[in-house]
Amino acid sequence: MKFSERTGWNTEESELARAHRERVASGAGLPGHPDLLDLTASNPTRCGFSYDEDWLGPLAGSGVGAGALEYDPQPLGLPSAREAVVRYYREHGVEGGNERGTGVAAGRVLLTTSTSEAYGYLFKLLCNAGDEVIVPQPSYPLFDFLADLEMVRIVAAPLIYDHGWQLDLEGLRQRITARTRAVVLVHPNNPTGHFTKVDEARELAALCREHGLALIVDEVFLDYGFGVGAAATDSDGMAASGLMGFGDASSFAGRGLDVLTFVVSGISKICGLPQMKVAWLVASGPGAEEAMARLEVVADTYLSMNAPMQAALPVWLPWRRGIQRQIRERTGRNLAALDGLLGRQEAERRLVSRLDVEAGWYAVLRIWAVQPDEATVRQLLEAGVWVHPGYFFGFGPAGWLVVSLLTPEEEFLRGMELVLEVLGRNQSGYCLGES
């Protein structure tokens, strides 16, 4: 039997995954078991947030869910659900669509079961086999797989960290080839938690225009800015660190960039409902109309959206505020606790520092690059705390850990104390070794 080359991944369990599985199987780390502290949590439904039982109401036979008994195959998704997405952007200060193709109108919204599916559709739309898409990294680790499956090649462009994260526009320009079709931004980025600033976006758009590239912008974490602020955003108030200016935390759907732009988002993060499988893409800018006509054929080929979820979306999206408030309080308190802990390190024996973060569910930790991070993560696992090595996200092999701020607060604090304890023991070992 012959299978496609692009699915010829090495699916053997990695050493690290095996170590984690065995650690969990040994009895530690079972739900509620205090032994393995999980600083990689990404599933909000397992992090102790309270979801009102009403959340399932729209799926029941009464209320809006009743509409789900009828099958109305609409490739772009049900108009009522797409209108709910338009309202979400309006609440972010984004106007309804206009004839120049800017703003968000229901005709420019396509519903998908996940952002992964949206990426699949976009790569089908924009790329022939062997074409390239540029992604500034460190970033979301799934892009390579999503691209492989569409026969597309991801080309990494550097992000620069210098008092906050920035695009290296010259570095990005150098990576453009005759095969480049698009640039993907994650805004705010995962795991670095930075927003792409208005000026950077303008320059990037000019570059895309010059080379005929589309811009794909993943905004699943848009509503999770830290601080209160300057940006035109949700009425709950969010965003803007000291480095940020007005509009930096705003959606690309409203930036009016003169380039074909696809904003990708969904309720896995916006409503903390990853299990419900509703996402979307929004097209704007020159060429959006033709793009939507082509995407409609792609979506019509799969018709993957189911009726109950679409019927529920207009109810769920307005309910996001309650769960977002809980998540923002959690991530904010964990960040403060982390800073409190790191601030207590002796200046001359500083083991860990935290990189600036403007948004999102993660913190990036800089540690001494004295051994591969894989070895450090193994040590931490043996000690009882599970964290991500930075290389998962495209950081170098040594010096970076990524921790989730979604983890329940007590577990987070104990986990971080353990991280510092283990790294402290390591450092004492190195210092003794040196003397």
Ligand X SMILES: Cc1ncc(COP(=O)(O)O)c(C=O)c1O
The helix/strand/coil state of 365 is: strand
Among the listed residues 74, 80, 114, 345, the single contact to ligand X using CB under 6 A: 114
The answer to whether residue 261 forms part of the interface with ligand X (CB under 6 A) is no
Is residue 362 within the footprint of ligand X (CB under 6 A)? no
Is residue 358 part of the contact set for ligand X (CB under 6 A)? no
Nearer to ligand X, 37 or 279 (CB): 279
Q: Distance between CA 216 and CA 140 in Å, rounded?
A: 14
Residue 220 engages ligand X in binding (rule: CB under 6 A): yes
Angle (nearest 5°) at CA 142 between 338 and 92: 65
CB of 407 to ligand X, least distance (A): 15
Q: Which residues make Cβ contacts (< 8 Å) with residue 37, sequence separation at least 6? A: 384, 385, 386, 407, 411, 412, 414, 415, 418
Which of 48, 79, 227, 274 binds ligand X (CB under 6 A)? It is 274
What span, in angstroms and rounded, lies between the C-alpha atoms of 140 and 122? 17
Q: Minimal distance in Å, beta carbon 274 to ligand X?
A: 5
Q: Which stretch binds ligand X (CB under 6 A): 112-120, 168-176, 325-333, 398-406?
A: 112-120
**Contact between residue 78 and residue 309 where contact means Cβ atoms under 8 Å apart:** no
Strand locations in 380-429, DSSP E? 385-386, 388-389, 400-404
State in angstroms the smallest separation of the CB of 139 from ligand X. Answer: 7
CB of 220 or CB of 385, closer to ligand X: 220
112 phi/psi in degrees, rounded to 5 = -135, 170
Q: Are 161 and 355 in contact (CB under 8 A)?
A: yes
Q: How far is the CB of 417 from ligand X (least distance, A)?
A: 26
- From candidates 40, 137, 190, 233, binder to ligand X by CB under 6 A: 190
Interface segment toward ligand X; rule CB under 6 A; list 85-93, 110-118, 337-345, 423-431: 110-118
Size of the site for ligand X (CB under 6 A): 13
For residue 122, state whether it binds ligand X (rule: CB under 6 A): no
Restricted to residues 277-306, the positions that interact with ligand X (CB under 6 A) are 279
Q: Which residues pair with 180 in a beta bridge?
A: 132
421 vs 384: CA distance, rounded Å: 11
Residue 139-158 contact track with ligand X, rule CB under 6 A, x = bound: -x------------------
The distance of closest approach from Cβ of residue 196 to ligand X in the complex, given in angstroms and rounded to an integer, is 13
Q: By C-beta, is 193 or 229 nearer to ligand X? A: 193
For residues 282 and 264, give the distance between their C-alpha atoms in angstroms, rounded to a whole number. 7
Provide the H-helix boundaries in 175-306: 198-211, 267-270, 288-302
Other C-beta atoms lying within 10 Å of the C-beta of residue 314: 18
Give the shortest CB-178-to-ligand X separation in angstroms. 28
Phi, psi of 196 (to 5 degrees): -80, 120
Residues 185 and 218 sit within 8 Å (Cβ to Cβ): yes
For the purposes of burial, counting CB atoms within 10 Å of the CB of 301, is it exposed (0-12), middle (13-18) or buried (19 or more)? exposed
Rounded to a whole number of angstroms, the minimum distance from the CB of residue 272 to ligand X is 11
Q: What distance in Å separates the CA atoms of residue 158 and residue 160, rounded to the nearest whole number?
A: 6
Rounded to a whole number of angstroms, the distance between the first and last alpha carbons of the chain is 60
- Supply φ then ψ for residue 153, to 5 degrees: -110, 130
Binder among 268, 284, 310, 331 for ligand X (CB under 6 A): 268
Structure-token pair, residue 311 = 């019927």
Q: How far is the CB of 238 from ligand X (least distance, A)?
A: 17
Measured from the CB atom, the residue of 351 and 391 that comes closer to ligand X is 391
> By CB under 6 A, is residue 273 in contact with ligand X?
no
Could you tell me which stretch among 62-70, 114-122, 244-252, 378-386 binds ligand X (CB under 6 A)? 114-122
Least Å from the CB of residue 267 to ligand X? 8
List residues near ligand X by CB under 6 A: 42, 114-116, 140, 186, 190, 218, 220, 266, 268, 274, 279
